[in-house]
C-alpha cells in the first residue's frame, strides 16, 4: 500500500508547488500584457517616437541614464525628499491620529478642519508655498507631508476608535493602567489600520513628490521627466514613469509589506492559516 | 490528582530566519545601495579620476572635466556648481572649468560619472 501511495504524494506535492509558482507569477501578468500591447501598438500602428516610444528605446534610455549618472542622482534626490516628507507625515499623523482617536469629542470637533484641509489638494498649495518656502527641498517635503499626514492621521484615528471597548475594560479590570491599555490593546488593535494608512500614504506621497519636482527642484525624477518633456524625449518620460513605479513596488513589497506582516502577526492579529501564506 | 500546567515558550525568531525578514533585509540593502552606492563608488575611485598634478593644489585651478559620454543639461549644470563653466575644450565631452578651489576639486573628483579631471593648459 505504501508503495502505491508514494507516487501519488509526489504528484500532489509537485502539483501544489506548480500551483504556488503560478500564483507567485500572477501579479506580473498585467505588466506582461501591457508590455505586449505596447510592443504590438508600436509595431502595427508605427506612431512617432514622440507619441509612443518603442520598448527598446525606453530600455536604451534607462541604460544611458544609468551610465551617465543622471538616474542615480535623480533617484537619490527623489528618495531623500520622499523619505523626509513621509517620515514627518507618518510621525505627526500617527501621534495626532492616536490622540484624536482616543477622544471622541476632540475627534468630532476636529473633523471639519481635517475634512477642510484634506479636500485641498497638494497642487493647490503650490503657488502659495513657493512664496513661503521658496523653490527647493522644503517645498517638496511640505507637499509630501501634506499628503501623507491626512491619510495616516485618519487611518490611525479610525483604527483607535474601532478597538472594542470591552478589551480595554478587560485590561483595566485586571489591574492594568492607562499606558498598559494603550500598549497592549489600543496600539496593536489599531495597527492594521495604521499600517494600511502608511502604505497608502507612501503611494500618494510619490504623486505629491513628482508634482513638487515638476515645479520646483533642480534634481529628482519629476525634474528629469519635466526636462525630457521640453525636448520631446518621450522615451525618458516613459523611463521615468517606469522607474517610479518599480521603486514604489519594491519599497512596498520589500520594506512595508514585511513590516506589516511581522508586526501584525506579532500581536496575533491574523489567523494561523493566514500566517503561513 | 494534580494537573500540570504547561505553557508554550515564546519563540522570538530572528529577522533573517523568516521569509519576510529576509525580504526586508534585501529591501533595506537595495535602498541603501540606491541611496549611497554612487557616492561610495565615487569616493572610492576619486584618486584615479584626478590628474596627479592637481592632487596637491593649494589654490584655485583651471581644469578640464572629461566625460565618457555626451553631456546633457544635467551634467553641465552639475559641473558648473564647482567652478566657472568656460565652454568646451576641443570636444563636446570635455568641459572647461575655471577657478575651482581645492575643496571643490576634491568634491568634483568624487563625482562617479566623471571620467577624468585634467589641468587646463
Contact (CB<8Å) A76/B73: no
Mean per-residue pLDDT, A144-162: 94
Does the structure show a pLDDT above 60 at B7? no
Q: What are phi and psi of B98, to 5 degrees?
A: -105, 160
Mean per-residue pLDDT, B7-17: 64
Does the structure show a pLDDT above 50 at B1? no
- Give the number of other Cβ atoms within 10 Å of residue A199's Cβ: 19
Q: From chain A, pick out residues whose CB is under 8 angstroms from the CB of B30.
A: 250, 254
CB-CB: which of B18, B35, B72 is closest to A76? B35
Contact (CB<8Å) B34/A75: yes
Supply the pLDDT for residue B4.
Answer: 57
Nearest 5°: CA angle at B17, between B11 and B22? 135
Model confidence pLDDT, tens digit, residues A124-143: 888 888 889 888 889 999 99
**pTM (two decimals):** 0.79
Model confidence pLDDT, tens digit, residues A64-75: 999 888 999 999
- Beta pairing, strands B114-119 & B94-100: unpaired
Please give the helix or strand (H or E) that residue A83 lies within, else none. helix A70-102
CA-CA distance, B66 to B56, in Å (whole number)? 20
Contact (CB<8Å) B20/A257: yes
Among chain B residues, CA nearest to A73: B38
- Greatest mean pLDDT among A115-119, A145-149, A164-168, A228-232 lies in A145-149
Contact (CB<8Å) B111/A69: yes
- Beta pairing, strands B84-88 & B114-119: unpaired
| B20: confidence class by pLDDT, cuts 50, 70, 90 | confident
Task: Give B103: exposed, middle or buried? Use CB within 10 Å, 0-12, 13-18, 19+.
Answer: exposed
In which region does residue A8 sit, left (phi positive, over 0), alpha (psi from -120 to 50) or beta (all else)?
alpha
DSSP single-letter state for residue B70: -
Annotate A214-264 with DSSP letters as a single string.
Answer: HHS-SSSHHHHHHHHHHTT-HHHHHHHHHHHHHHHHHHIIIIIHHHHHHHH
| ipTM of the complex as predicted | 0.72
Amino acid at each position: 500500500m505504501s508503495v502505491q501511495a508514494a507516487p501519488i504524494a509526489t504528484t500532489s506535492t509537485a502539483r501544489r508547488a506548480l500551483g504556488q509558482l503560478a500564483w507567485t507569477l500572477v501579479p506580473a501578468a498585467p505588466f506582461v500584457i501591457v508590455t505586449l500591447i505596447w510592443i504590438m501598438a508600436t509595431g502595427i500602428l508605427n506612431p512617432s517616437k514622440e507619441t509612443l516610444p518603442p520598448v527598446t528605446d525606453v530600455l536604451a534610455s534607462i541604460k544611458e541614464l544609468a551610465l551617465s549618472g543622471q538616474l542615480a542622482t535623480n533617484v537619490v534626490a527623489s528618495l531623500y525628499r520622499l523619505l523626509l516628507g513621509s517620515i514627518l507625515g507618518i510621525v505627526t499623523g500617527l501621534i495626532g491620529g492616536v490622540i484624536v482617536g482616543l477622544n471622541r469629542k476632540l475627534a468630532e470637533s476636529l473633523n471639519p478642519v481635517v475634512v477642510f484641509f484634506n479636500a485641498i489638494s497638494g497642487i493647490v498649495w503650490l503657488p502659495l508655498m513657493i512664496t513661503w518656502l521658496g523653490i527647493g527641498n522644503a517645498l517638496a517635503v511640505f507637499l509630501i507631508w501634506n499628503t501623507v499626514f491626512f491619510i495616516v492621521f485618519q487611518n490611525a484615528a479610525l483604527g483607535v476608535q474601532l478597538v472594542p471597548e470591552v478589551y480595554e475594560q478587560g485590561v483595566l479590570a485586571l489591574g492594568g493602567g492607562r499606558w498598559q491599555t494603550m500598549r497592549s490593546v489600543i496600539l496593536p488593535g489599531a495597527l492594521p489600520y495604521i499600517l494600511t494608512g502608511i502604505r497608502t500614504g507612501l503611494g500618494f506621497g510619490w504623486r505629491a513628490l513628482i508634482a513638487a519636482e515638476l515645479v520646483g527642484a533642480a534634481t529628482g525624477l519629476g525634474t528629469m521627466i519635466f526636462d525630457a518633456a521640453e525636448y520631446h524625449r518621450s522615451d525618458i518620460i516613459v523611463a521615468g514613469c517606469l522607474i517610479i513605479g518599480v521603486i514604489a513596488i519594491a519599497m512596498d513589497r520589500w520594506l512595508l509589506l514585511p513590516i506589516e506582516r511581522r508586526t501584525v502577526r506579532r500581536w496575533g492579529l491574523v489567523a494561523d492559516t493566514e500566517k503561513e501564506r | 490528582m494534580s494537573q500540570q500546567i504547561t505553557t508554550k515558550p515564546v519563540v522570538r525568531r530572528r529577522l533573517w530566519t523568516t521569509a519576510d525578514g529576509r525580504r526586508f533585509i534585501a529591501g533595506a540593502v537595495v535602498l541603501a545601495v540606491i541611496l549611497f552606492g554612487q557616492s561610495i563608488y565615487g569616493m572610492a575611485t576619486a584618486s584615479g579620476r584626478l590628474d596627479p598634478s592637481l592632487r596637491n593644489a593649494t589654490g584655485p585651478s583651471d581644469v578640464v572635466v572629461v566625460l565618457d559620454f555626451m553631456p546633457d543639461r544635467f551634467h553641465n549644470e552639475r559641473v558648473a556648481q564647482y567652478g566657472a563653466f568656460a565652454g568646451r575644450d576641443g570636444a563636446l565631452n570635455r568641459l572647461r572649468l575655471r577657478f575651482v578651489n581645492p575643496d571643490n576639486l576634491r568634491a568634483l573628483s568624487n563625482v562617479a560619472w566623471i571620467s577624468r579631471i585634467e589641468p587646463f593648459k
